[in-house]
Amino acid sequence: MNLDSMSRRCGALALAFFLPARTLAAQNAAAPPIPCRDFGCKLIFDWGPGKTVASYPQDRRYGGGDDFEVKLRSTLAAQGYRLVTTASEGEMTIVIRATVGRAMCDQMSGTNTDYSCQTMREAMLGFSGGAAGAPIPKGRSLRNSCGDATVQMTMGQFGQYMGDMIAFIIEKEKKGERRPSMKC
């Protein structure tokens, strides 16, 4: 084997070794940024006209608005999402419009059912802003119902479900992953 033949083989081997790494780097550079991972997201909770989270104190069965907010934030943080308190340019804003209503206090309906408890009935998700090139998800409406209209999750359970759903909507739905299920 002469020197010229050996140098061609080494060149071909080097090209075969470095080409996939270069191609992979180009693919990674072309991938759009992922909202709430590659840049921060601000959560805005809209509890209704003139209402705040304090308008929904602890309920004897379902918990309070604080339980919902804390569980939603901790669920997203545990999945690696970056949450910010003030959105700057290029960061996405997620607005959660909550509808709270009366709910059955009893474990099982029967005679003289007590409906003096309250829980979140529905939440509307809206997405806006974000970095250039990052996909902005479509808004969704999520109902708090466990198959039966009279059975609902607690505020904390619904907060966890909403956090899982936000993560699913932002990046897992496109990958064909399984939709989160309610934990009733």
Task: Note whether residue 178 is domain-resident.
Answer: no
How many domains in the chain? 2
**pLDDT tens-digit profile of 21-59?**
444 444 555 677 888 888 889 999 999 999 999 999 999
Residues 7 and 76 in one domain: no
| pTM of the model as a whole | 0.78
Q: Check residue 24 and give its pLDDT.
A: 46
Q: Check residue 61 and give its pLDDT.
A: 93
Residues 94 and 78 in one domain: yes
Task: Note whether residue 105 is domain-resident.
Answer: yes
- Mark 74-96 as b/e (b = at least 16 C-beta within 10 Å): ebbeebebeeeeebeeebbebeb
**pLDDT tens-digit profile of 137-177?**
999 999 998 877 778 999 999 999 999 999 999 987 878 88
Number of helices and strands in the chain (H, E): 3, 5
**pLDDT tens-digit profile of 98-137?**
999 998 888 766 666 788 999 999 999 999 987 777 778 9
